[in-house]
Amino acid sequence: MAISNEQKLVCEKFHALPFDTPLDLKVGISLNVKEKNLFPINGFRHNPEGDTTGWYIWAGEDFSDDPDFFVPLHVEHIKEWRPEIIKYLALPPGYRFLIGEDKYEDVWFDETLLEVI
């Protein structure tokens, strides 16, 4: 996906260099993201690997270690689930975001996301 102006602005706002997130690659996403009124929406990005972007996204307060918590979804389908996420997807590996109701947002760098396990 070409990096949009909105994505560039988010990266500039949080002092990050834009990092492409191709539409044909996948994110790990929890099914509850589809629930339009469930907040906050959380995301973090590891380094891309294979056919993935490195992004993991979920909604709500609870994160699960269940291996089935995240399902693969091509980036091109995020606009159908929660279009407000798209502007954060050019943030590079190591970044996290949290968006809430009433346009609340928090974005930060977390170097532990870059550690190789």
Instruction: Give percent of the chain with pLDDT exceeding 70.
Output: 98
Task: Output the pTM of the full model.
Answer: 0.94
Query: Is the predicted pLDDT of residue 84 greater than 70, yes or no?
Result: yes
Query: Is the predicted pLDDT of residue 2 greater than 90, yes or no?
Result: no
Query: Is the predicted pLDDT of residue 99 greater than 90, yes or no?
Result: yes
* pLDDT, tens digit, 9 for 90 and up, residues 33-46: 999 889 999 999 99
Query: Using an 8 Å Cβ cutoff, are 71 and 31 in contact?
Result: yes
**Burial call 75-107: b when 16+ CB within 10 Å, e when fewer:** beebeebbeebbbbbbbbbbbbbbbeeeeebeb
Task: Return the pLDDT at 29.
Answer: 97
Query: Using an 8 Å Cβ cutoff, are 17 and 97 in contact?
Result: no
Mean pLDDT, residues 89-104: 96
82 in the Ramachandran plot: left (φ > 0), alpha (ψ -120 to 50) or beta? beta
Q: Which amino acid, 56?
A: Y
Query: Is the predicted pLDDT of residue 1 greater than 90, yes or no?
Result: no
* pLDDT, tens digit, 9 for 90 and up, residues 29-81: 999 999 988 999 999 999 999 999 999 999 998 888 888 999 999 999 999 99
At residue 21 the predicted structure's pLDDT band, cuts being 50, 70 and 90, is very high
